[in-house]
Structure 1
Amino acid sequence: MAFRTFLSALGVNAPTAETTVENPDVRPGEELRCRTVVKGGGAAVRVDRFALELVTRVEAREPSDTGWSNPGVVDVSALDEGFVLEAGQTLDFTTTFAVPWEMPLTHALGMPLKGARTAVRTVLEIDRAVDRGDFDEVRVHALPAQDVFFQAYLDLGFRFDEAEVKDYVCTGGENQTLRYCQELEFWFPPEYRRESQLETLFIARHDSLDLITGSKGPYPFRYADLDRESWTAWLDEHLRSLWFRG
């Protein structure tokens, strides 16, 4: 979905910036490709800063699931210097983001995760007027190993509630490199006799991931060893040993 930014502070003949995300469906570890067309307005202006930012919804910063008032910036692609945009001039920029392995997910098993949002934000600053209010949504799908564990929870009777991104180093996250961590919250099955939720975290890398359940872990799993049946059996035994009341 393309969007258009108008710097209203500069009047109706202000420059515009239109960004298109060429591949809005990605997985951690892949590249996100963007194209921005900047068009000059009625007079030449100096663009002091032009940047694209890969952002995520951080639970503590936003007032609602639909809020984008203060998103967490995961990565920034910016020009080294400002430039002069002539009246009526058109400039075309191509930007590529390397999606971090620990990027918060917006989808698992092909389904959207409640509370999760990621986007590319365009920032254009001209004469101290900054427009950073428009976002182009991106869908970050789970890695195969993450999908296997997500499905295992469902097969074991757990019910997904929502995803929350926190702005801190998570407990047990010895391998965490991103400043944000995403908690996937599941309701326990009735037989556990628990009314609370279980928080699960994935700290992914290029060849493996760490699974953290509640405050327990990290438990490493290699992608090359992916086995849905054995991983589901391990998770069942692990969760019952820690939280089952019977």
Structure 2
Amino acid sequence: MSFFKKVFSKVGIGAAKVDTILDRDLYRVGEPIDAIVKIKGGSVEQQIDALYFSMHCNYIGERENSEGEEVDVTRTATIDQFKLGESMLIQPGEEIELAVDMEVPLDAPLTFGRTKVWLKTGLDIKAAVDPGDRDYFQIQPDHMQANVFQALEDLGFQMHEAECEEASRWNSRLPFLQEFEFKPISGPYYRRLDEIEIVFNHGGDHLEVLMEIDRRARGFSGFLAEAMNRDETKTRFTISDEHPGEVLEIIQHIIDDNI
């Protein structure tokens, strides 16, 4: 019986299990995450060599189909990963609890639109299928990002889409960038702009904002400019601890200078 238990544990049957419990399910970028990891022994004694964690998200990439056309595909990126290398021996049915702390990376995507973020926990057990656990959580903007969103809303823009898209040329450690698309629905830029797209580059104590302003085509010259993609202006600016009203003034000044 003991022999069969050992064999089954190697293929994941009757093996140790792991469950991570996050202190909450909503965080802001840069915030700490406090978690409790519960490990429960299986039907046999097992040596756990390490406890590892990885943070993931989904993003949109492209691939060529059988007809040679580019089609969208959903891919997974690893945002961060680390492991606790302290080994432990867990007895059958034994329960172990560990307190673990980590941090949401500054360049982690916000969970807007279809973007999902999750934490994966695993046990490193030699000659066995590693048990794992997956926990989804939300990432919200910090105060600097929130100030940018609020300023655009106060100027009459509404977020139309938020997407993580593959961007290998982007100067980032991640294979994607997150774009936020805003369309004017009221205010001074209604019927004057098609949309504004922004991308954040978080520096910790400051926030760099890359902005693309898409002007609305007006008349034949505007139509030609739009056809040649000359109706788009790319710019960037940096904010830190400015008051929300000051952020609005900065963005309004930049838009007015580029339309």
Q: TM-score, normalised by structure 2?
A: 0.70
Secondary structure of 1:122's counterpart equals strand
Find 1:75's aligned residue among 59, 76, 80: 80
Find 1:88's aligned residue among 90, 93, 102: 93
Distance (Å, rounded) in 1 between the aligned partners of 2:192 and 2:243: 25
Query: In the TM superposition, what is the alpha-carbon distance from 1:29 to its structure 2 partner?
Result: 2.2
Secondary structure of 1:151's counterpart equals helix
Secondary structure of 1:146's counterpart equals helix
Q: Which has the larger radius of gyration?
A: 2
Secondary structure of 2:130's counterpart equals strand
Residue aligning to 1:35? 36
Q: TM-score, normalised by structure 1?
A: 0.74
Identity across aligned pairs (percent)?
20
Query: In the TM superposition, what is the alpha-carbon distance from 1:222 to its structure 2 partner?
Result: 2.0
Distance 1:95 1:170, change over 3 A: farther
Residue aligning to 2:22? 21
Query: In the TM superposition, what is the alpha-carbon distance from 1:21 to its structure 2 partner?
Result: 0.6
Are 2:217 and 1:216 equivalent residues in the alignment?
no
Q: Deviations over 1:167-220 (max 9, x none)?
A: 54665x5xx5666532112234451353xx532111122221101012734311
CA contact (8 A) 1:55 1:118 kept: yes
Q: Deviations over 1:108-159 (max 9, x none)?
A: xxxxx21222221112344242344x42122222111211110122222222
CA contact (8 A) 2:53 2:83 kept: yes
CA contact (8 A) 2:12 2:131 kept: no
State the superposition RMSD in angstroms: 2.9
Find 2:202's aligned residue among 176, 199, 204: 204
Query: In the TM superposition, what is the alpha-carbon distance from 1:160 to its structure 2 partner?
Result: 1.0
Query: In the TM superposition, what is the alpha-carbon distance from 1:237 to its structure 2 partner?
Result: 3.4
Distance (Å, rounded) in 2 between the aligned partners of 1:94 and 1:101: 23
Residue aligning to 1:4? none
Residue ranges of structure 2 left out of the alignment (5+ in a row): 1-8, 63-73, 213-232
Distance (Å, rounded) in 2 between the aligned partners of 1:8 and 1:143: 44
Counterpart of 1:186, as a letter, is F
Aligned length: 215
Residue ranges of structure 1 left out of the alignment (5+ in a row): 1-6, 62-68, 107-112
CA contact (8 A) 1:115 1:162 kept: no
Distance (Å, rounded) in 2 between the aligned partners of 1:40 and 1:236: 60
